[in-house]
Chains A and B, each alone.
Chain A
Amino acid sequence: MDEIASITAPATTAAAVSVNPLHALAAASHDVAAARLVPLGPAARLAFRGREAAIGPVGEAFGVALPREACRRAEANGRAALWLGPDEWILLAPGADPAPLFAAIDSAAAGLPHSLVDVSSRSVGIEISGPRAAFVLNQGNPLDLSLESFPVGMCTRTVFHKAEIVLSRVAPETFHIDVWRSFAPYVWELLEEGRRELA
C-alpha cells in the first residue's frame, strides 16, 4: 500500500500549472545570433468568435479594432488582435490579468451572439529573431516566409513539424509562435535542432 501511495502524483496547484515549461530549456540554451530563441512572458489570451454585430464592440472594449483582412494582426498599446478565421480571433494582452479583461469584453458583447473563452494558460509564446529565423522555421513549416508573401503584420494558424502553432511576423526578422503548452518543449527542441548548424 505504501508503494501505491508513493507513486501517486502530487495534487496539481494553480501555481504549478502556470510555470512556463520552456524555462528550463531556455536556461540550457546557447545563444545563436542568427536565430535567437526567447520564451515570451505570460499573457492574457482570449479566444473570441462572433457574428458581425459583436465584432465592433469587442474591438472597442479590447482597445484594438479586430482585423477583417484574412491572416492579419492589429496592434495597439502593446495588445494584439490576431485574425484566425473569418469569425475567429485571438486577443493577446502580454502581462495583463485575464479576469478583468474578460469581464470588460464580455459585458461589451452582452446580448450579441458570440463566444468568448479565456485560454490564457492554454499556450505559451516563443520569439525567434535574427537573419536566419525564417530559415529555422522552414525546417518544420512549408509556408513561404519571404517578406513578399508573409509580410510584417501577417499571422496564421499553421503547423511546425507535427504541432499546430499560431505564427506571426512582428518585424522583418522577428516571428512570434504561440503553441499549446504541452507541445511547447517539442517545438522548442525542434527549433534548437533547426538552428544547430548556425551556431
Chain B
Amino acid sequence: MLIIDCPWCGKRPEIEFRYGGEAHIARPADPSALSDEEWAEFLYNRTNPKGLHAERWRHIHGCGRYFNAVRDTVSDFFVVTYKAGEQRPENLGPDVDGASIGGDK
C-alpha cells in the first residue's frame, strides 16, 4: 500500500487520503476583468506533467486537512509533502520528460 506522509499526522496509508488536483493555482483577484480565454485557462487548463507534479491532497479520514505534495507522475513516488500555504520546495531532482525518480523505493 502507498504510504503518504501527512504534514500533521505522519505516515499514513493512502486509503485515508483524497486527491485534490493541481496545487498553487490562485484564483484571479478580479474575474470580471478577465477574457473568456483567460477564465477558461484558470478553470480548466492544468500542466499535466510527466515527472514531478505539485498537487493538493486531503487527509480526509484523518486530520481532515488539505496539504500539498510533490509526486512523480511516472513512478507515483511522493517526493515531499508540505503544509498548505507553503512554497513548493526547490531542487527536488530531475523534472524533465521521462526522468522519474524514486520509482524503485
Contact = CB atoms under 8 A, between A and B. Distances in A.
Interface of A: 70-71, 84-86, 88, 142-143, 156-159, 164
Contacts of B13: 142-143
B9 A156 contact: yes
A142 B64 contact: no
A86 B65 CA distance: 8
A156 B11 CA distance: 13
A165 B78 CA distance: 26
Contacts of A85: 8, 63-65
Contact of B63 (A86, A142, A159, A164): A86
A70 B61 contact: no
* Highest count of chain A CB atoms <10 Å: which of B9, B12, B65: B9
Contacts of A156: 9, 62
Contact size range, B: 10 to 19
Contacts of A71: 9-10
Nearest to B64: A85
Given A70-B9, A71-B9, A85-B8, A164 B15 contact: no
A143 B64 contact: no
Interface of B: 1, 8-10, 12-13, 15-16, 61-65
Nearest to A84: B63
Contacts of A142: 1, 13, 15
A85 B16 CA distance: 14
B61 A143 contact: no
A88 B63 contact: yes
B9 A159 contact: no
Given A70-B8, A70-B10, A85-B8, A157 B15 contact: no
Given A70-B63, A164-B61, A159 B10 contact: no
28 contacts: A70-B8, A70-B9, A70-B10, A70-B63, A71-B9, A71-B10, A84-B63, A84-B64, A85-B8, A85-B63, A85-B64, A86-B8, A86-B63, A88-B63, A88-B64, A142-B1, A142-B13, A142-B15, A143-B12, A143-B13, A156-B62, A157-B63, A158-B12, A158-B16, A158-B61, A158-B62, A159-B16, A159-B61
Contacts of A88: 63-64
When A and B form their complex, which 4 residue pairs have the shortest distance between CB atoms, in order from nearest? A85-B63, A142-B13, A85-B64, A159-B61
